[in-house]
Amino acid sequence: MKLLLLAPPGAGKGTQGERLAAWSSVRHIAAGDLLRAEARAGGTLGREIAAYQVRGDLVPDQIVLDVLTPAVTEAAAGGGYILDGFPRNLPQAIAAAELAARLGVTLDAVVYLYAPDAVLTRRLLDRAQQSGRSDDTADVIRHRLRVFAETTGPLVPYYTERGILVAVDADQPPDPVTADIQARLAGLTRAADR
Ligand code: AMP
């Protein structure tokens, strides 16, 4: 299973990514988590990453690729991955396709989780109480939602045109969202078998 999870902040991609990885026995690779770990490790690179994250801006593509490529390469060799939070713009989508081609793997689907901005904002503000994340503040949340709409949003038509987009309503509790994703992916597998 090789899946991408495309979702605005607060749509539940971390939760769903973990569940889908356990369900399909592949590695869950969360771009934001790997970048946060790199930021915590410090050094020049870590400080640079942290500066982008605290503002809610995207980390430069080359840094993201340098951090993610080893994890994706290892996971592909192990049978697949759920890649959550990458790609987040068109150049990254092209780089992701090139990487997949180099590794000799093809994407099965791109799961797009959507929910209204008001729902996402409320969830993120609730999460802010316990997340301890530097980017879970009202101003930065607003900015992250704008970055998603302007920069990541264009990936929805991009993957729709490629016939691999699976759009799921994320304005429901986690269990029905998981069930919807699984039903849609099972449908794809059956269609591919015919
Ligand atoms: P997330 O944990 O997915 O909400 O990501 C948190 C932050 O990490 C984002 O606001 C960006 O600063 C950074 N980030 C995560 N994934 C990417 C990516 N694919 N490209 C650039 N920056 C990213």
**Residue 17 confidence (pLDDT) above 70:** yes
Q: Which atom of ligand 1 is nearest to the CA of 84?
A: 3
Q: Which amino acid is at 19?
A: R
Mutation to probe ligand 1, out of 35, 36, 49, 155 (largest number of atoms < 8 A from CB)? 35
Strand partners of residue 116: none
Taking CA atoms only, the protein residue closest to ligand 1 atom 1 is 32
> Who contacts 133 (Cβ-Cβ below 8 Å, separation ≥6)?
36, 127
CA distances from 94 to 123, 158, 159 (A): 31, 10, 11
**How confident is the model over 164-180, as a mean pLDDT?**
98
CA-closest candidate to residue 112, choices 1, 16, 37: 16
Q: Mean pLDDT in the chain?
A: 95
Query: What predicted TM-score, i.e. pTM, was given to this entire model?
Result: 0.95
pLDDT bin (cut points 50, 70, 90) of residue 145 is: very high
Contact, 38 vs 52, CB < 8 A?
no
CA distances from 56 to 89, 141, 172, 190 (A): 14, 7, 25, 39
**Residue 191 confidence (pLDDT) above 70:** no
Taking CA atoms only, the protein residue closest to ligand 1 atom 2 is 32
Q: Which residue is it, tokens 């689907």?
A: 109
pLDDT bin (cut points 50, 70, 90) of residue 129 is: confident
Contact, 146 vs 91, CB < 8 A?
no
**How confident is the model over 162-174, as a mean pLDDT?**
97
* C-alpha 96: how far from chain center: 12
- Say what the pLDDT of residue 33 is: 97
- Say what the pLDDT of residue 187 is: 85
User: What is the tens place of the pLDDT at every residue in 42-101?
Assistant: 999 999 999 999 999 999 999 999 999 999 999 999 999 999 999 999 999 999 999 999
- Say what the pLDDT of residue 188 is: 81
Q: In what order do the strands lie in the sheet with 165-169?
A: 27-30, 81-84, 2-6, 109-114, 165-169
Ligand 1 site residues, Cβ closer than 6 angstroms:
9, 31-32, 35, 52-53, 56-59, 64, 85-86, 88, 92, 135, 144
Q: Measured in angstroms, how far is the CA atom of residue 31 from the centroid of ligand 1?
A: 6
- Say what the pLDDT of residue 194 is: 66
